[in-house]
Amino acid sequence: MAEDKSEKWIFIVNPIAGNGFAKTLVPEIEKMISKYNIDGEIVLTERIGHAAELSKMYSEKGFKYIISVGGDGTLNEAARPLINNKNVVIGIIPAGTGNDFIQILGFPNRYGEKEWETFFSKKIIAMDVGVVNDMIFLNGMGLGFDAEVAAENYNEDGTVKEGEVSKYFWQIIKTLLFFREKRMVVLSEGSQHETDCFMNTVSIGRRFAGKYFLTPKAIANDGLLDVCSIKRLNLFQRFKLFLQVPKGEHIKDKKVNYFQTQAVNIEFTEKVPYHVDGEMNFAKKFNIKILPEAVNIIYNPDGKHFFKK
């Protein structure tokens, strides 16, 4: 008789996530597998893209719970083969550096005894997924200032430049001082307009870069993308908005166009950098849409999650 694997778990660990922190969680995960009597296995990724390969393989084997152990990029990879697959459930054990996605689910950046208990109680909710140029995002994607900051360390093919990576804080200051907005055309729900893009964020979640609530009204299962489009700013306006974003107060500014939509198309006159769940890419045209309730995911119903009731 074939083994029933409907309740099997696979924990996909990115050993370099969080500067190696994810790998140190392996003994803890083994302990929790035993404590909660989980029929589970642990596997470590070996290269970029490996999490997606493992996720696909184990889901095809009939594993029901596909758990990402790492940061937002690892989760994005693991989720790619599972979109609209109602037979599987995604989970995340946050072990990256930023961990922006996890706050959507009502969990903290690191799990304690209470969080492990909640996690293995398997409270599940269906969540929206964004798509940009055929790539998914679970938290969000961004153009303009924030992408330019990250792009300092990348070549146009997405590979990391050789040499020592610049300090992030100084990248932010330098880009605030010298970034030059580019003209873009935005088409959403039949209306078209042109604007100079300081920053354009399209999201499912609310938080980016650890503490910046660029889309503070986002709900992860409302069937809508939240768009925060910031127009050309002078230097004073840049620093002013930069200080407002952690509390989400920037959306009141007249330079900010905040709206919700099911799809939006954006076009530049040249290739520009953009990030997708923190991973860098370059493109000229952006076709962005939402896939409502495309993944089932473990969340904390008692935490401060960002799902509609």
pLDDT tens string 45-66: 999 999 999 999 999 999 999 9
May I ask the CATH architecture of the domain 135-292? Sandwich (2.60)
User: Is the separation of the CB atoms in 147 and 197 below 8 Å?
Assistant: no
Would you say residue 165 has pLDDT above 70? Answer: no
At residue 33 the predicted structure's pLDDT band, cuts being 50, 70 and 90, is very high
pTM: 0.89
pLDDT averaged over the chain? 90
Report how far residue 166's alpha carbon sits from residue 152's, in angstroms, rounded to the nearest whole number: 8
What's the rounded mean pLDDT across residues 275-293? 93
Picking from 297, 254, 302, the residue whose alpha carbon sits closest to that of residue 101 is: 297
Please give the Cα distance from 153 to 166 (Å, whole number).
7
C-alpha 242/C-alpha 186 separation (Å) is 23
Q: Where do you find CATH 2.60.200.40 in the chain?
A: 135-292
Nearest in space to 182 (alpha carbons), one of 195, 172, 201: 195
Above 90 in pLDDT, residue 157? Answer: no
How many C-beta neighbours within 10 Å does residue 205 have? 28
Rounded to an integer, the average pLDDT of 266-279 is 91
Please name the residue that has the structure tokens 């078209």.
192
CB neighbour burial string for 149-164, b if at least 16 within 10 angstroms, e if fewer: bbbebbeeeeeeeeee
Percent of the chain with pLDDT over 90: 74
**Residue 251 confidence (pLDDT):** 94
Q: Which regions of the chain carry the CATH code 3.40.50.10330?
A: 9-122
Q: Which CATH class is domain 9-122?
A: alpha beta
